């Protein structure tokens, strides 16, 4: 699934910069959230005094602030240079680094714990920057249980009521089923 996260975030960022409708912005954010929750990303941890930590990068060509590098593709299997791949293999073999899988929740916690922005690199060295503020917003939006606001029309209001009714019917059925199981 390389480049999916990059493409979805770029489309959403572009919509924010333009005069896109709120509905378009919400739809693009929803697309990003769905992909971001499903994707597995990769990080390289350094080992120091028997503790792993994520190195903080400082590269003004990539980002104006310090950041933690995350990768869409496993660093050993990406299209990076042979020298870089050999360095990673050597550091892995010596135990100086560890490559870890990261899901969305782990990335949120990384940004909180270290107080740093996250830069996600794709195979072709393209990257997106998720600032601490972006990650906090994305996390809050992904945790919302309400339907994203839509244009308020009678049609969308009826659709929302119908969706909520269906949701509550299934919730009640689930609760009744759970009660039946516990009463046996």
Average pLDDT over residues 64-90: 83
pLDDT of residue 101: 92
Same domain, 102 and 174: no
Question: 164 and 82, same structural domain?
Answer: no
State pLDDT tens for residues 9-68.
888 888 888 878 888 888 888 888 888 888 889 999 888 776 777 888 888 777 888 889
**Do residue 101 and residue 84 come from a single domain?**
yes
Check whether residue 133 and residue 163 sit in a common domain: no
Residues 100 and 118 in one domain: yes
Residues 127, 165 within the same domain: no
Q: Which of 74-83, 106-115, 131-140 has the lowest mean pLDDT?
A: 74-83
Q: How confident is the model at residue 184 (pLDDT cuts 50, 70, 90)?
A: low
| Mean pLDDT for all residues in the chain | 80
- Structural domain for 181, as ranges: 152-184
Same domain for 55 and 139, yes or no, is yes
If asked whether residues 12 and 79 sit together in one domain, one would say yes
Whether residue 77 is found in the same domain as residue 43: yes
Domain count, the chain: 2
Q: What is the DSSP string of the chain?
A: -TTHHHHHHHHHHHHHHTT--HHHHHHHHHHHHHHHHH--EEEEEEEETTEEEPPPB--TTT-SS-EEEEESS-TTTSS--HHHHHHHHHHHHHTSEEEEEE-HHHHHHHHHHHT-EEEEE-TTS-EEEE-HHHHHHHHHHHH--SPPP----HHHHHHHHHHHHHHHHHHHHHHHHHHHHHH-
Same structural domain for residues 40 and 112? yes
0.75 exceeded by pTM:
no
């Amino acid at each position: 699934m390389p480049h999916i996260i990059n493409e979805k975030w770029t489309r959403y960022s572009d919509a924010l910069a333009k005069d896109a409708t709120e509905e378009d912005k919400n739809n693009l954010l929803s697309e990003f959230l769905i992909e971001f929750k499903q994707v597995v990303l990769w990080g390289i941890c350094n080992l120091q005094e028997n503790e792993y930590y994520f190195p903080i990068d400082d590269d003004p060509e990539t980002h104006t602030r310090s950041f933690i590098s995350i990768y869409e593709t496993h660093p050993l299997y990406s299209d990076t240079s042979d020298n870089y791949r050999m360095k990673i293999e050597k550091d892995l073999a010596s135990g100086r680094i560890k490559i870890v899988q990261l899901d969305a929740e782990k990335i949120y916690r990384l940004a909180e714990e270290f107080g740093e922005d996250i830069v996600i690199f794709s195979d072709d060295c393209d990257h997106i920057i998720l600032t601490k503020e972006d990650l906090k917003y994305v996390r809050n939006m992904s945790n919302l249980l309400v339907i994203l606001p839509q244009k308020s029309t009678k049609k969308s209001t009826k659709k929302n009521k119908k969706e909520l009714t269906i949701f509550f019917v299934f919730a009640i059925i689930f609760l009744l089923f759970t009660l039946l199981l516990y009463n046996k």
